[in-house]
Chain A
Amino acid sequence: MTTPVIELRDVSRRYDGGPPALKDASLTVAPGEAVAVLGPSGSGKSTLLNLIAGLDRPDSGTVTVAGTRVDRLGEAAAARYRRDSVGMVFQFFNLLDDLTVADNVALPALLAGRSRAEARRRGAELLGALGVERHADAYPGRLSGGERQRVAVARALVNRPALLLADEPTGALDSAAGEEVGKLLTELNADGQTIVLVTHDLDLARSCTGRTIRIADGRVAEDGR
């Protein structure tokens, strides 16, 4: 049996005494799998993603990603884990306005201690593969939404992570750009990239993932393998 890339066991998370955002959630994701996490607003999708990314820690339960107990990591170790093992794509891109496209993409590699030349070479390679290499020296503000999200994907992949996490990656895009991004994610998965996609968009989930998990009131309500 293949060792899962992601393994959550009985994970719970509650914010400031409110109702649980996640309650006793358990799931596994195998290497090379593409999983869509669906659910209404406030259902706990983003909390799940944050816990997998090491951006947050559960109140109880365990989160293991690529053999690392993420729930036990301190801030510094979590940062190293993110840059080495996880790539993140956000709904609003979260590109840094004062860095060029090339510098945005190279940033995680530089933070990981790679040389400037190596980081730029890897960034250029990804920008080329994603079709936005002509914008390398431009600033993100000049790019369209779809182009910005491609740049964000390039940044997420620059350190060759085991896992790509996408939080509503098409939520801020028009339908054409959204389709482009969906196609891109499908291609990446076809190349073996493990992907966890959080979305409201059922069509996107169906088109680019082979499995959907439905979250409701903080619980895994349905796991459609």
Chain B
Amino acid sequence: MSALGRVVRAGVRRKRVQTAVIGLATMMAVTASVLGGSLLVVSSAPFDEAFTAQRGAHVAARFAAPPRAGAVAGVTDSAGPFPFGTAVPDSRGLERAPLALVGRADPGGPVDEVAVLSGRWAAAVDEVVLSADVPFAERLLDQEIRLVDRPGAFTVVGLARSVSRTADAWVLPAALPAPTGYQVLYRLAEPDRVDDAVAAIRGVGEVVGAQSWLVVKEEAVRETAVYVPFLVAFGLLGLVMSVLIVGNVVAGAVSAGTRRIGVLKALGFTPAQVVRAHVAQALVPAAVGTAVGVLAGNLLAVPVLAETTEVYGTGALGVDPVVDLLVVVGVLGVVALTAWAGAARAGRLRTVEALAVGRTPRPRRGRTATRVAARLPVPVPVALGLARPFARPVRALGLVAAVVFGTTAVTFAVGLGTSLGAVQTAREPDATDVVIGVRAPEGDPIPTGATAALRPDTDRAAVTAAIDAQAGTAGYYGIARRRAAVAGMSGSVVALAFSGDTSRSNYQLISGTWFRGAGEAVVPTTFLTATATSIGDTVTLEDGGRSVRLKIVGEVFDTRNDGKQVLVDAASLPGLRPTMYHISVREGTDLPAYLAGLSAALRPLGVEPREGRDGGFSDMLALIAGLTALLTLLLVAVAGLGVLNTVLLDTRERVRDLGVHKAVGMTPGQTTALVVASVAVTGVVGGVLGVPAGVALHSAVLPLMAEGAGTALPASAHAAYHPVGLVLFALGGLVIAVLGALPPAGWAARTRTATALRAE
């Protein structure tokens, strides 16, 4: 082994703590960066990735009859014609809304390669594959379903997803002997010129409908756009902090080794060899940390990417190797550059100066602070510690920065968690204690045949009488649902007509007021956007031949049914009968006993009450909450390591002073107090600066996330912070600093006085 190799090996082995800190800090920085970077890459264009992976259809055209064969201008590839039809399910658990049925022999092909998420593709004429987007589809796997006006039953043999959203269900072509049309899927040379392509497509047959991929994308992106601002925030925090901490750690390691550099030069090492030795000494643990970090980041990204994969049904979204490569090169580059800069400076020092480091008196900074601290009414070790940051201001600034980032991350994460909790609560506006009827999950199905539904012939008066008679009932309201059209808006909306005491509900207004009677409506943000209306405007609801004019009086947070809902008083839509009742019980009521009593009373009516709250988080919110916790933990750990390294350097540098303190009677407890107090000021300053930064980040990111989701948020989501909480977060900065300082403080306390006095 060369002399340089021996020096590097000895340096890595001798400075075990610094080696470990560099390795750990690098590992955490790489883990956070790989995780954040991968998610950023995947989330920035998840639809595009899935669309490319599935060779998505830029245009899904529907023809009245099979089109003529031949080239179409602007089209690079096509698939079909596939027989097309619509069918209305007539089975328990499925929404009675028309399903788009497409006959395809297999899920592959040159365009729109459908991803089979579970089960298999249809192999017989009585088998069907449901789109995972169909409400309750996952419950129906391996079950039989019936379709209105079609004989026999179909077995659901698989769940699949087309990113192009070309069908709700797929069967074999032979299962559609009398199709209502034919679907042909096209990929275009210029995907943005959909209109031109559709015009050209019209040349090969009678087009009765065409779906643009841009429309599909707009809807799909809304589902995940919510991730992007959040990930950008954490990604930036992680990257800046990585650079800061790794740079700080490496620079500190080189600085602490200045005297060793002097010794090496005295032995004949050239400045270039000194620099190479120190860069290598930093790179060895950094490379190990990077390798472990890449592995950890990739492993942690798996479940997150799996969730995204599930959303798009690609099955192929993995950690982008480019992210791994960039992070590895970036972090090792930072380590090498910082080590090079520090070592080059030390390498240029005259040998005698480098040798004198640690032996000559240090610059006289911080003496005023020491004098001031000595007058404070605190024990002398604490006073000595409090003054310490002023003796090494640059090092103290590095420490403050580490604490600022840690506190910012915690403040932001807790705020985000609180906001997501509020959003989750607001997402379930009908989560009352007891529900009668079918609870409305995502997609707001209109209950038709499910067991607990209120059938059309159920006696509502008898139901409400039973509820009124049940001891413990605090209040209730009923909801009638009706699909209706809104003049000037394509597609249908769900009209929710409320009767009873709606003050028991959890609908959260964003602006305006709740409806006060007939003729008034409250609508979600998406509705206002889609209809280009605002509070005070009037819309016309067309319901089965009757038109109802409604004045919009409030904007409500309601993401169900993609926000295409209108909430009105039952008096606005007379004749509708509630399909569900939501009951609140009095405080202290034994809920199981209440349910048993009500169940007994309602059984003769064929109705079964259920507990109304499940307390579950939506997958997306749970994922964000989990990621927030994980990324915050990583950032706080890196911040703590940064503090630990800085305090360790400082303590090692001052070990002789500590020996003197101990020689004149400082106890181990007092030594610990001194070292811990030395980070108190920086911890508090970092905490005080980090809290407003975290609040500002929350204030900036939350509206962007909401915008990504296509909705405004209720006040409860914005009110994420309590003044007491903010004070606690600021103290959190102190906690990060103290936790980082405790190991070196313990080391200082344990060091034998005689050893410390001998140290140079």
- Contacting A79 at CB < 8 Å: which of B361, B662, B757? B662
Q: Report if A80 contacts B (CB, 8 A).
A: yes
Q: Report if A103 contacts B (CB, 8 A).
A: yes
Q: Report if A112 contacts B (CB, 8 A).
A: yes
> Which of the candidate stretches A48-56, A201-209, A216-224 sits at the interface with the other chain?
A48-56
Residue of B nearest to A137 (CB): B371
Is there an interface contact between A76 and B668, defined as CB atoms closer than 8 Å?
A: yes
Interface positions of B from 232 to 247, Cβ below 8 Å from A? none
Is there an interface contact between A75 and B664, defined as CB atoms closer than 8 Å?
A: no
Q: Report if A174 contacts B (CB, 8 A).
A: no
> Which of the candidate stretches A3-11, A58-66, A92-100, A178-186 sits at the interface with the other chain?
A92-100
Is there an interface contact between B666 and A79, defined as CB atoms closer than 8 Å?
A: yes
Is there an interface contact between B668 and A79, defined as CB atoms closer than 8 Å?
A: yes
Residue of A nearest to B390 (CB): A98
How does the 8 Å CB contact mask read for B654-671 relative to A, with 1 for contact and 0 for none?
Answer: 001101111111111110
How does the 8 Å CB contact mask read for B358-388 relative to A, with 1 for contact and 0 for none?
Answer: 0001101011001100100000110000010
Is there an interface contact between B370 and A98, defined as CB atoms closer than 8 Å?
A: yes
Which chain A positions have C-beta within 8 A of B381?
Answer: 111
Is there an interface contact between A94 and B361, defined as CB atoms closer than 8 Å?
A: no
Which chain B positions have C-beta within 8 A of A96?
Answer: 657, 660-661
How many Å lie between the Cα of A111 and that of B662 in the bound state?
A: 10
How many Å lie between the Cα of A220 and that of B752 in the bound state?
A: 25
Q: Report if B573 contacts A (CB, 8 A).
A: no
- Contacting A53 at CB < 8 Å: which of B380, B663, B668? B663
Q: Report if B6 contacts A (CB, 8 A).
A: no
Cβ distance B650 to chain A, nearest Cβ, rounded Å: 13
Interface positions of A from 110 to 129, Cβ below 8 Å from B? 110-112
Q: Report if B753 contacts A (CB, 8 A).
A: yes
Q: Given that A76-B667, A88-B664 are contacting pairs, would A107 and B380 also be in contact in the complex, using a CB cutoff of 8 Å?
A: yes
Q: Report if A146 contacts B (CB, 8 A).
A: no
How many Å lie between the Cα of A157 and that of B367 in the bound state?
A: 25
Q: Report if A141 contacts B (CB, 8 A).
A: yes
Which chain B positions have C-beta within 8 A of A112?
Answer: 665
Q: Report if B749 contacts A (CB, 8 A).
A: yes
Cβ distance A14 to chain B, nearest Cβ, rounded Å: 14
Cβ distance A31 to chain B, nearest Cβ, rounded Å: 21
How does the 8 Å CB contact mask read for B664-699 relative to A, with 1 for contact and 0 for none?
Answer: 111111100000000000000000000000000000
Residue of B nearest to A81 (CB): B665
- Contacting A103 at CB < 8 Å: which of B364, B374, B669? B374
- Contacting A97 at CB < 8 Å: which of B361, B749, B750? B361
Is there an interface contact between B660 and A56, defined as CB atoms closer than 8 Å?
A: no
Residue of A nearest to B371 (CB): A100
Pick from B659, B661, B663 the residue with the most CB of A within 10 Å.
B663
Q: Given that A75-B749, A82-B665, A108-B665 are contacting pairs, would A99 and B362 also be in contact in the complex, using a CB cutoff of 8 Å?
A: no
- Contacting B664 at CB < 8 Å: which of A56, A97, A111? A111
- Contacting A111 at CB < 8 Å: which of B364, B665, B752? B665
- Contacting B361 at CB < 8 Å: which of A50, A56, A141, A155? A141
How many Å lie between the Cα of A195 and that of B752 in the bound state?
A: 24
Is there an interface contact between B370 and A83, defined as CB atoms closer than 8 Å?
A: no
Q: Report if B288 contacts A (CB, 8 A).
A: no
Q: Report if B754 contacts A (CB, 8 A).
A: yes
Q: Report if B391 contacts A (CB, 8 A).
A: yes
- Contacting B380 at CB < 8 Å: which of A75, A110, A139? A110
Is there an interface contact between A111 and B666, defined as CB atoms closer than 8 Å?
A: yes
Which chain B positions have C-beta within 8 A of A79?
Answer: 662, 665-668, 670
Cβ distance A92 to chain B, nearest Cβ, rounded Å: 10
How many Å lie between the Cα of A4 and that of B367 in the bound state?
A: 43
How many Å lie between the Cα of A111 and that of B754 in the bound state?
A: 19
Q: Given that A53-B663, A99-B370 are contacting pairs, would A75 and B757 also be in contact in the complex, using a CB cutoff of 8 Å?
A: no
Is there an interface contact between B667 and A80, defined as CB atoms closer than 8 Å?
A: yes
Is there an interface contact between A56 and B754, defined as CB atoms closer than 8 Å?
A: yes
Q: Report if A159 contacts B (CB, 8 A).
A: yes
Residue of B nearest to A114 (CB): B380
How many Å lie between the Cα of A110 and that of B757 in the bound state?
A: 21
Which chain B positions have C-beta within 8 A of A100?
Answer: 371
Is there an interface contact between A98 and B667, defined as CB atoms closer than 8 Å?
A: no
Which chain A positions have C-beta within 8 A of B380?
Answer: 107, 110-111
Which chain B positions have C-beta within 8 A of A76?
Answer: 667-669
How many Å lie between the Cα of A88 and that of B387 in the bound state?
A: 26
Residue of A nearest to B379 (CB): A110
Is there an interface contact between B391 and A98, defined as CB atoms closer than 8 Å?
A: yes
Which chain A positions have C-beta within 8 A of B667?
Answer: 75-76, 79-80, 111
Which chain B positions have C-beta within 8 A of A88?
Answer: 663-664
Residue of A nearest to B370 (CB): A98
Is there an interface contact between A107 and B664, defined as CB atoms closer than 8 Å?
A: yes
Cβ distance A163 to chain B, nearest Cβ, rounded Å: 13
- Contacting A55 at CB < 8 Å: which of B374, B669, B670, B752? B752
How does the 8 Å CB contact mask read for B619-663 relative to A, with 1 for contact and 0 for none?
Answer: 000000000000000000000000000000000000011011111
- Contacting A94 at CB < 8 Å: which of B374, B663, B669? B663
Cβ distance B652 to chain A, nearest Cβ, rounded Å: 17
How many Å lie between the Cα of A100 and that of B375 in the bound state?
A: 13
Cβ distance A67 to chain B, nearest Cβ, rounded Å: 18
Cβ distance A16 to chain B, nearest Cβ, rounded Å: 12
Is there an interface contact between A139 and B669, defined as CB atoms closer than 8 Å?
A: no
Which chain A positions have C-beta within 8 A of B362?
Answer: 97
Cβ distance B39 to chain A, nearest Cβ, rounded Å: 48
- Contacting A82 at CB < 8 Å: which of B663, B670, B757? B663
How does the 8 Å CB contact mask read for A37-59 relative to B, with 1 for contact and 0 for none?
Answer: 00000000000001001011000
How many Å lie between the Cα of A98 and that of B369 in the bound state?
A: 10
Across the A-B interface, give the 7 residue pairs with the lowest CB-CB distance, nearest first: A83-B665, A110-B380, A79-B667, A55-B754, A108-B664, A55-B753, A76-B667
Told that A76-B669, A83-B665, A96-B657 touch, could you supply 17 new A-B pairs with CB distance under 8 A? A50-B754, A53-B663, A56-B752, A75-B667, A76-B667, A82-B664, A90-B663, A90-B757, A94-B757, A103-B370, A108-B665, A111-B380, A111-B381, A112-B665, A139-B367, A141-B364, A159-B665
- 16 A-B pairs in the complex with CB atoms less than 8 angstroms apart: A55-B754, A75-B667, A76-B668, A79-B667, A80-B665, A90-B663, A94-B757, A97-B362, A98-B370, A103-B370, A103-B374, A108-B665, A111-B661, A111-B665, A111-B667, A139-B364
Chain B residues within CB distance 8 Å of chain A: 361-362, 364, 366-367, 370-371, 374, 380-381, 387, 391, 656-657, 659-670, 749-750, 752-754, 757
